[in-house]
Amino acid sequence: MSRFLFTFGFFWIIWIGLTSTFNPQEVIAGAVVSLIIASFSYKTFTDYGLKFLTPKKIYYIVKYLIVFLIALVKANFDVARRVVDPKLPINPGIVEYTTQLTDNAAKVILADSITLTPGTLTVDIIGDKLYIHWIDVVSKDPAVIYREIGENFENVLKEIFQ
């Protein structure tokens, strides 16, 4: 129960901090949303807990956000070019991406990051394999797939979850 209450309190404080108000409707809405999120995530959240608040982890989390934003912008421009210029190649397919990450939370973050960048969609995760729908499969070579799709994400995630 204490793990649940800790998670609920953490998310509720974040809510209040982001809304910057003590308006009763906002506080109640934050409590409800925090209860829902805490009921689904308290076990995972408290397993990792506050160990991510070391200076090294915070540095790599910020670095990860920067790497993700750069990849997001590049992918958006690539997909936009393909929409505007129909002569650009589109070779869709599903590829197998082998991750070196061992932590399940890290694999999920990697899969979500790949899915959030336009042109790629993580279809499934089985063990250390991610199956990804790619808008333009440039190679079936696992090394090329690794480099093109998620190497930058994975390098930083290794530092966060080690």
Looking at the fold, whether 69 and 28 belong to one and the same domain comes out as no
How does pLDDT run across 37-64, given as a tens digit for each residue? Answer: 888 887 776 566 566 667 898 899 899 9
Looking at the fold, whether 143 and 70 belong to one and the same domain comes out as yes
Split into its structural domains, the chain has a count of 2
Can you give the pLDDT at residue 124?
95
Looking at the fold, whether 148 and 90 belong to one and the same domain comes out as yes
Residue 125 is part of which domain span?
A: 55-161
How does pLDDT run across 69-83, given as a tens digit for each residue? Answer: 999 999 999 999 988
In angstroms and rounded to an integer, the radius of gyration of the C-alpha atoms of the chain is 19
Rounded to two decimals, the pTM is: 0.73
Looking at the fold, whether 63 and 40 belong to one and the same domain comes out as no
Looking at the fold, whether 136 and 67 belong to one and the same domain comes out as yes
Looking at the fold, whether 91 and 117 belong to one and the same domain comes out as yes
